[in-house]
Amino acid sequence: MSIPNKYLAELMERVIQRNPHEPEFHQAVREVLTSLSPVVDAHPEYMTEGVMDCLVEPERIIKFRVPWEDDQGKVHVNRGYRIQFNSAIGPYKGGLRFDPSVNESIIKFLGFEQVFKNSLTGLPIGGAKGGSDFTRKGKSDNEVMRFCQSFMSELSKYIGPDTDVPAGDIGVGAREIGFLFGQYKRLRNEFTGAITGKGLTYGGSLVRTEATGYGLCYFTENMLKDAGRSFEGATVLVSGSGNVATYACEKATQLGGKVVAMSDSNGYVYDPDGIDLAAVKQIKEQNRQRIKVYVDTHPKAQYHEGSSGIWQIPCHIALPCATQNELDGASAKALIANGCFAVAEGANMPSTPEAIEAFHQAGVLFAPAKAANAGGVAVSALEMSQNSMRLYWSFEEVDNHLKKIMGTLYGNVISAAQEYGMPHDLVAGANIAGFLKVANSMLAYGVV
């Protein structure tokens, strides 16, 4: 993919030189700069005033040691990160990922994308991401607790309800958020909404657990409706079986779709009768087991090793909800050949550039992550509002806000794509609509 605008093409080269060995970050920046070419052609002030150069440079990168002791008394040292990318429109906001694959490139790509996503929600939140190369897999509750406490002992110096508000992501769920918030509260001696995704007994918001998956389906519903289609009667694939995948499966089913497959990092299950989500929740959320045990209680279902095989199953709608670059060009071609007409990204950057290109060429409806999975962080921002007001909203109230936010977001993405001559290109629309609010705020501040 070459970037049409010469200044942006050169900026991309500088990004590669200044951030060597960071392929995920390069991939995320290249996509955005490609989409923004017509915008800066029309508004050269974004180049001349330094907005574009600032946009690709994080405001602050925090990198720290996380020592912790296992149950045998052995000391382990992990690496922690918080990349505070852009605070032009609000306090830094974005999740924490605990996974062995975590490195600076991955946190930087996630932080960069979060800036645009958060802007798209219409709420006042800047962009950040953090995490560690730690895995909770195979660890006892006490080991996870000691790790989280050590991680927060350092992170607590840099966050706060008006500064930076972390949340969950891969490997960081309700249990980890509890340990992290508990330590934050203890160190700072204050009870404020400095983390979202909190438990419902200590400041969490109803619908936050469901928000990313539900929001993904609300966005997809809008996109399908515009094309004269719906979830009703559609066969759906959902990759992953974590937080986003679980609630995407739940809402897609409620909207009339039939989810026939889900996966984890080892393989996927195919159930021709439709996935029994209660069983998946029990296996993954409660028991922390592998998804393959699903077939022990569901004799008609099949388990296959290897996560990417899921895309070979015929479907109408694909919802990748596991991780970055999980859906490549060959998988995209298989989906298209099997009659898939819509793809909506629940994970961050799950489709490779080759896959996105294949979907566009084939006229497959494509909802990019920044727009489609923004429901999670949107409800996080609503959790912040409730915490500031020291009150709670009902499930229905928050769910209605979420539906409205996803509908407005969809409309804004479509309008931006149309305005810059790329109707129906939701990738361009999301990048442009997300950019404008952030860029105009940066312009207003002058050089800071």
Residue nearest to ligand 2IT (CB): 95
169 near ligand 2IT, rule: CB under 6 A: yes
- Under the criterion CB under 6 A, does residue 209 sit at the interface with ligand 2IT? no
What, of ligand NDP, ligand 2IT, none, does residue 307 touch, CB below 5 to 8 Å by kind? ligand NDP
The angle at the Cα of 258, spanning 252 to 261, to the nearest 5 degrees, equals 95
Select 257 or 346, whichever has its Cβ closest to ligand 2IT.
346
Question: Applying CB under 6 A, which residues contact ligand NDP?
Answer: 95, 168-171, 173, 212, 240-245, 263-266, 307, 321-323, 326, 346-348, 373, 376
361 binds, among ligand NDP, ligand 2IT, none (CB under 5 to 8 A by kind): none
Shortest distance (Å) from residue 307 CB to ligand NDP = 4
**CB under 6 A: which stretch of 132-140, 218-226, 245-253, 376-384 binds ligand 2IT?**
376-384
- Residue among 93, 108, 117, 129 flagged as catalytic: 129
Pairwise CA distance, residues 216 & 367, whole Å:
9
Q: At its nearest, how many Å lie between ligand 2IT and the CB of residue 368?
A: 13
Give the one entry of ligand NDP, ligand 2IT, none that residue 242 binds, where binding means its C-beta sits below a cut-off of 5 to 8 angstroms depending on kind: ligand NDP
Active-site residue flag, 6? no
Decide: is 348 part of the binding site for ligand 2IT (CB under 6 A): yes
Quick one: 100 or 233, whose CB is closer to ligand NDP? 100
Pairing outcome for strands 342-344 and 258-263? unpaired
Say which entry of ligand 2IT, ligand NDP, none residue 257 contacts (CB below 5 to 8 A, set by partner kind): none
Q: How many Cβ atoms sit within 10 Å of the Cβ of residue 281? A: 16
Query: CB-side exposure of 295: number of CA atoms within 13 Å?
Result: 17
C-beta of 240 vs 429, nearer to ligand NDP: 240
Tell me the one-letter amino acid at 425: D
Largest separation between any pair of C-alpha atoms in the chain: 64
Q: Does 377 bind ligand 2IT (CB under 6 A)?
A: yes
94 binds, among ligand NDP, ligand 2IT, none (CB under 5 to 8 A by kind): ligand 2IT
CA-closest candidate to residue 96, choices 131, 120, 61:
131
Select from 373, 362, 323, 370 the least CA-distant residue to 340: 362
**Which residues are tagged catalytic?**
129
Which residues contribute to the site for ligand 2IT (CB under 6 A)? 93-95, 117, 167, 169, 196, 348, 376-377, 380
